[in-house]
Chain A
Amino acid sequence: MSPLVAGLVQVGILVAALAVVYRPLGDYMARVFTTKGHLKAEKAIYRFARIDPRAEQKWSTYAYGVLGFSFVGIVFLYVIQRVQSVLPFNFDRGNVPEGMSFNTAISFVTNTNWQSYVPEAVMGHTVQMIGLTVQNFVSAAVGLAVAIALVRGFVRSQTDRLGNFWVDLVRGAIRILLPLAFIAAIVLIITGVTMSLKSGVDVDGQTIANAPVAGQEAIKELGTNGGGVLNANSAHPFENPNEWSNLIEIFLLLVIPVALTRTFGQLVGNKKQGYVLLGVMGVIWSAMLTVIWVAEANGLRPLEGKELRFGISGSALFANSTTGTSTGAINSLHDSFTGLGGGGTLLNMLFGEMTPGGVGTGLYSVLVMAIIAMFLAGLMVGRTPEYLGKKLGRKEVTAAAVSILAMPTVLLIGAGIAAILPSTQGALNNPGEHGLSEILYAYASASNNNGSAFAGITVTNDWFQSSLGLCMLFGRFIPIIAVLALAGSLAAQKKVPVTAGTLPTTGPLFATLLTGSIVLVAALTFVPALALGPIAEALL
């Protein structure tokens, strides 16, 4: 089988597998967030935390819940890293330095999983398991909860209640992420991913670092987290031993964001509304896959920085999916990609992580973009713009605008300052346009909560640790606050009935409009910066 055919077969298997689980998983998630009953484990948690699961919250209370929960998470992660030397299973890996702890704490709570450290040299199993892995679950569950709250804004009318954050959080973690991650971990172990509490294995007198990989690998992909327990991430044979584990990991990182479009369709009572979003995500994902794949296949040194066991197709497929979701795991070195191919992975993030995006974040990001697109479209058909029966007025546009503005703002300010700092020159492996691509990639990855590293840039100095940390923080929580405010103002509205004058949002016209808006907003914002990095590189 030629590499091209093998690659196409892989894509075929992946799409088929996603298609098989699409409906059952999407419908199941819809039930999880609408059903009235509570599991025994959930009741125990509510009793323990003194939560009244029946109490519905306003958008602001919901937002306080998200922020408070995340803040506590950051503090906890920071503290356990700083006192690692007294924790068990630390293998003499001492306390993590301040800057690195700050950056890592934010990184895992914001579902970014940007890693400025070498895991097997810095983090012990305790921090890894009770700190980082826990956040891998709950940060994904937070994203899910916010997405569901926004959907409720569309579904409900004339109410100021959006549901209960704690209930949504607990259900997302216990009913969706935990069982799926458990199954995924077993499957990964079958494919050969390791699972060990030892610090390493001796091979021919050499110690190769090891860890409880499979358990973390599963949620790393499933929760679109991306932070590996080993430095080489999914390029490491213990994390990703063969083409089957590779395909399973790609499947895992796509499955929830993809199936959430079905959940959305179910909840708004029109499945076509979900299909059209999936279509838009799919079209951009496929187009970018083609760009990256073709660019890599025709590069000067096509296999540089790629694992031979995955080849060009397995690397392109992984790279496209990990940057199109906000995962950030890597199985190849994006830094070694061609100008166009590397630029493609960068562009995937610059789209704002919605093709199909992270767990929950992908859905709410694409809905925000749909609001912007429908605002313009509504004007062009001569009606006060509306989407899914809700009018898009001053409040809705403001919230959507704030949500969209956050990422480019922190990205451009951070990257702009970094570009002229004298210390940056020393941190870069490459000068010129490729060096600028490395800087842009780092800030795009942080601001979009992706977490993948282009590599080729040393990010351990104080400036990078703190500026990238702040990019992750603002890139995550400003949109979340704006999205919840948006949900609040949508829920307060009456539902506008559908008439012949309503612009349908289920057909190809809307899909084209939305795709165009996503591409245009990213292009207009970032073309000047990209011109000096990937574009200059690609045109050489």
Chain B
Amino acid sequence: MTTTLQKPAVAQEKTPAKPSIAAAIPEALRKLHPRHQLRSPVMFVVWVGSLLVTVFAATDPSVFTVAVALWLWFTVLFANLAEAVAEGRGKAQADSLRRTKKDAVARMLNGDVVAGTELKIGDLVVVEAGEVIPGDGDVVEGIATVDESAITGESAPVIRESGGDRCAVTGGTTVLSDRIVVRITTKPGESFVDRMIALVEGAERQKTPNEIALTILLSTLTIIFVLAVVALQPFAIYSGGEQSVVVLTALLVCLIPTTIGALLSAIGIAGMDRLVQRNVLATSGKAVEAAGDIDTLLLDKTGTITWGNRRATEFIPVGPTSQETLVAAARLASLADDTPEGRSILELAGGRSASEHEKTGEFVPFTAQTRMSGIDLGDRSIRKGAASAFELTDTAREIVDEISGQGGTPLVVAENGRVLGVIKLSDVVKPGMKERFAELRAMGIRTVMVTGDNPLTAKAIASEAGVDDFLAEAKPEDKMALIRKEQEGGRLVAMTGDGTNDAPALAQADVGVAMNTGTSAAKEAGNMVDLDSDPTKLIEIVEIGKQLLITRGALTTFSVANDLAKYFAILPAMFAAIYPALDKLNIMHLATPQSAILSAVIFNALIIVALIPLALKGVRYRPSSASALLRRNLLIYGLGGIVTPFAGIWLIDLLVRLIPGIG
């Protein structure tokens, strides 16, 4: 009934699609349309400025005005280019997603069964308990409880009935009880996958909350600079040095935060794209941002923290048997055992491949009756199996009980009926987990291990893995309660899940990553789907979320810090004629007023292109304390942002001054 996601072919490749600048140029030109420019207030101001300067350049052409007009247009184009390149990378993934999607089936009122994609507005479809509503519409008959968690994140079912204000149902939500007739009110193509395709492509991209807040801040800065530049003209007139519109516009464009304004949407698209490259699909950019804010991480023990299967960790000989004898016997008994446990015994005993002599042996497979497996080699009959299958001495019994008490599993090894010793199998923590949790702790994220084990075993594994806390003998409702408790304290919670009974918790969590192998209920409840079904991916998702915000902050800081040098370039150029003393501010020794202004404009445009790779790749993120991160980024992007344009504008001026009519 529901959409099944398969790994898109392209998404499986870990290497990012190479950003092709050439391919993005036509799209960048198309984006010159004012409707598109309005999306970014900063770039809209540049667009208007370019138009204004073009008019002046056309009516009163000079090398300077034409050059400024051209470079202002380049500034707009470079911004479009950044966005187009970022979108281009998502397009390939979207195409493969499109190929793999299968739509919900719609059962028409007249009995016909059609694909969800073929529904038209006004069609009447029947949806019964357990079925997914194939498209957006109104209930025209019946009453039902509907699980809308997939869309609203609210896990409590809602009532939808015909007539009144509660008749609207949304495609992709599930009817939990009863039967309703729905009149389709929207065109198909807005399903779960369709929205994901849109997100990957960036076409229907909604600005995320943080992006909106940042846009407000950038707009504020833009307004301040518009005011500062507009008010400058009367001051200039008063001082006897009226400025041309071309020069004032150039100053304005240099001052407003064009660098971040141009790259903001590319950063957002690239962030989603980085997730897709790791085979994670997020239903909204908001979820990616929330990932950066996570305070508490719920991780299932089995499969995430531990290997999940039991692995051999120790050989304990019994009685006179030497360690070597036991190891050799255990190895022989496991040679033909292809279970994970068997393989782990071979690994621990050392030596996987059987010798020619050993291959002559007759393998005895495990059966439910014997509860043991092994090998008959010559006159030796070696067996390993559950403790209850053997006659045990008291010492052996003690060892077996001790292992069980620690949460491990004992396997007894015997030769010709004589017990040689015991293999201890335990749940082994994956390598590197302790370090990862330490990293998370440094980032301020608390990890909680969730397991069905008894508290004693859970505690042992929790301390071995280095998690901050654990939830033992956990039932799905316990998980839900834990999430609620954390959220009440103002914490943001992330978790992974795959089962249907994980669905409410996935919907409740701020970031719920569903495994692609999981049930559709889980996938619809979460706000991300991991196509690799790798629960440790959550840690990477958090890092991507943080990297997204850091990239925005770093480029904003860089953009604003740039203004200092631009003042030193442009103000003396504008006013040294009326106040020669102001030429002391021309510390870059720019050749002429025209070359100074043009160099600043060119730098302002080129820096966008120079930073496109950084915007797409994201600022390097290394888990560390907030203060250390801030100090580092302030140094690189704040201080760097102050220094770079001094060097850049100076270098550009060395070239620009060679142009006749400028230098």
Contacts and interface: CB of A to CB of B under 8 A. Distances in A.
> Is the pairing of A and B real?
yes
Interface of A: 372, 375-384, 389, 392-394, 396-398, 401, 404-405, 408-409, 412-413, 415-417, 419-420, 432-433, 435-436, 439, 494-497, 499-504, 507, 509, 513, 516, 520, 523-529, 531-533, 535-536, 539-540
Given A415-B231, A432-B239, A499-B295, A405 B223 contact: yes
Given A384-B289, A501-B443, A401 B553 contact: no
B546 interface: yes
Contact of A502 (B221, B444, B633): B444
A382 B441 contact: no
A433 B579 contact: yes
8 contacts: A380-B629, A405-B223, A413-B227, A420-B234, A497-B295, A497-B489, A523-B564, A526-B228
Nearest to B548: A382
Contacts of A507: 627
Contacts of A396: 213
Contact of B582 (A393, A496, A536): A536
A439 B216 CA distance: 31
Given A379-B549, A509-B631, A520-B560, A436 B581 contact: no
Given A379-B549, A397-B213, A532-B232, 13 more contacts: A380-B557, A380-B633, A380-B634, A382-B545, A393-B210, A397-B217, A419-B237, A436-B239, A500-B444, A528-B251, A529-B228, A529-B232, A539-B581
B630 A525 contact: no
A332 to B, nearest CB: 26
B348 interface: no
B213 A381 contact: no
B210 A384 contact: yes
Could you say which of B212, B292, B441, B579 has the most chain A C-beta atoms within 10 Å of its C-beta?
B579
Given A419-B237, A497-B491, A539-B582, A412 B228 contact: yes
Given A416-B235, A500-B444, A397 B216 contact: yes
Given A381-B626, A520-B560, A536-B582, A433 B239 contact: yes
B366 interface: no
A463 B236 CA distance: 21
B445 interface: yes
A374 B239 CA distance: 39
Contacts of A398: 213, 216
Given A376-B556, A397-B217, A405 B224 contact: yes
B228 A497 contact: no
B560 A379 contact: no
Nearest to A428: B238
Contacts of A495: 490
A375 B637 CA distance: 16
A382 B549 contact: yes
A408 B209 contact: no
Contacts of A503: 626-627, 630
Given A382-B550, A394-B216, A501-B443, A536 B575 contact: yes
Contacts, number: 205
B403 interface: no
B543 to A, nearest CB: 8
Given A394-B212, A526-B228, A436 B238 contact: yes
B230 interface: yes
A90 B654 CA distance: 71
Nearest to B554: A380
B626 A394 contact: no
B227 A494 contact: no
B311 interface: no
A381 B289 contact: no
A382 B546 contact: yes
A529 B231 contact: yes
B523 interface: no
A409 B634 contact: no
B255 interface: yes
Contacts of B625: 500
Contacts of B221: 524
B225 to A, nearest CB: 8
Nearest to A499: B444
A497 B491 CA distance: 7
A501 B575 contact: no
B552 interface: yes
B626 A413 contact: no
Contacts of A500: 441-444, 625-626
Contacts of B626: 381, 383, 500-504
Interface string B200-242: 0000000001101110110111011101111111111111000
B483 to A, nearest CB: 15
B143 to A, nearest CB: 34
The 5 closest A-B pairs by CB, nearest first: A501-B444, A379-B553, A382-B546, A412-B231, A380-B553
Nearest to B556: A376
A166 B631 CA distance: 44
B444 A375 contact: no
A528 B557 CA distance: 21
Contacts of B546: 381-383
B584 interface: yes
A401 B217 CA distance: 7
Contacts of B442: 500
Contacts of B567: 527-528
Contacts of A383: 292-293, 546, 549, 626
Given A417-B234, A436-B238, A526-B228, A377 B490 contact: no
A379 B575 contact: no
Contacts of B550: 379-382
B459 interface: no
Contacts of B556: 376, 379
A525 B228 contact: yes
B553 A420 contact: no
Given A501-B295, A509-B630, A532 B255 contact: no
Given A524-B560, A525-B224, A526-B228, A531 B213 contact: no
Nearest to A396: B213
A89 B214 CA distance: 57
B621 interface: yes
A397 B209 CA distance: 11
B245 to A, nearest CB: 16
B284 to A, nearest CB: 15
B399 interface: no
A454 B411 CA distance: 93
Nearest to A157: B490
Nearest to A538: B581
A433 B231 CA distance: 16
B629 A381 contact: yes
Nearest to B292: A382
A326 to B, nearest CB: 21
A105 B650 CA distance: 53
Interface in B531-563: 545-550, 552-554, 556-557, 560, 563
Nearest to B240: A432
B571 interface: yes
A539 B579 CA distance: 9
B298 to A, nearest CB: 16
B491 to A, nearest CB: 6
Nearest to A533: B235
B235 A419 contact: yes
B293 A384 contact: yes
A524 to B, nearest CB: 6
Contacts of B195: none
Contacts of A439: 238
Contacts of B585: 531, 535, 539
A419 B554 CA distance: 38
Contacts of A382: 292, 545-550, 621, 629
A439 B231 CA distance: 13
Given A501-B444, A501-B445, A536-B575, A394 B582 contact: no
B446 interface: yes
Nearest to A527: B567
A531 B238 contact: no
A187 B548 CA distance: 59
